[in-house]
Structure 1
Amino acid sequence: MRTWPLALLLAACAACGVGPSKVIGAGEPARGFVLGTPLYFVRLDRLVSISRPVGPLEAAEAVELLAEGPTSKEYDRNFDTRLPKNMAVRVNDDGFTLEKSAPMLVNGRWLSPVSRLSRMATGQLVCTIAAATAAKRGMDVDDVRVTVPDKRQVRCKDFS
């Protein structure tokens, strides 16, 4: 006889005796670990974060990766950069400055002086520096203020 499937069905349908309750708050959702280093590239004229599987990195290291431009796979997915090729920029956790005078030799590569960046290129740098700094300090990206060459402090969300 096949009575065990019926018994199993009845057991599954039986009430367990626990009554309904209201929703119980548990605080903010878990954030977990962010793997990789967020770099900001341009896609359809908007800044978009791409996570590279290295890191966490210091802000200057993240900008070095950003300056190399998108990988071929990222480029195939329509990610681009507005940063000038071989630009000379100095980066720290609080911001960046542009080298405006003479070309510099860094890691065997000549970097060109840049007198001005487009708004989108500035946003790429600001958001990448903010993301690296936020990861290091355990903060939200939009809470990090980055000092730009004209000495203003801006946030990533100022470029969205």
Structure 2
Amino acid sequence: MTQTERKQLLIIAHAPSPNLQRMLDAIVRGAEHEDIENVEVRVLPPLEAGPEDVLAAGAIILMTPENLAYMSGAMKDFFDRTYYPVLEEKQGLACAIVVRAGHDGTGTLRALKTILTGLRWQQVQEPLLCKGQWDEAFLAQCEELGMGMAAGLDAGIF
């Protein structure tokens, strides 16, 4: 299969800390599992991602820390720049959310869900909310989410 026939899983991740980077690495590790053949994984920080990246994606994973009961400013900036340019063309885009929350994460999830509802993107997995004190189990959960998204894209489920 040629590169152009491969489906793209776009991961927009704000990972400013070592633990968030570990979570991102776990998502990518899952998404690049050896059994997944026809998916290209592309990772971009929110400040570098734009509408053209979303338009090329077959599915998207959004990862952000909880900052002041909201998504990171970088993730908000991504949505500010891409919302209207992708609104019509990417309705139904399969997506998943990963939030690393030191507190409860409800404000962050609410804000993301509101934006995704407006975009008419389809959450194909329950949001992964990694909250409270750091737990090494977060890494396995992230890897599973990445694998699930890539496998679903590979199988044509979304």
The normalised TM-score by structure 1 is: 0.26
Higher normalized helix content (fraction of residues)? 2
CA radius of gyration, larger in: 1
Q: Select the structure with the greater relative contact order (CA < 8 A; seq sep ≥ 6).
A: 2
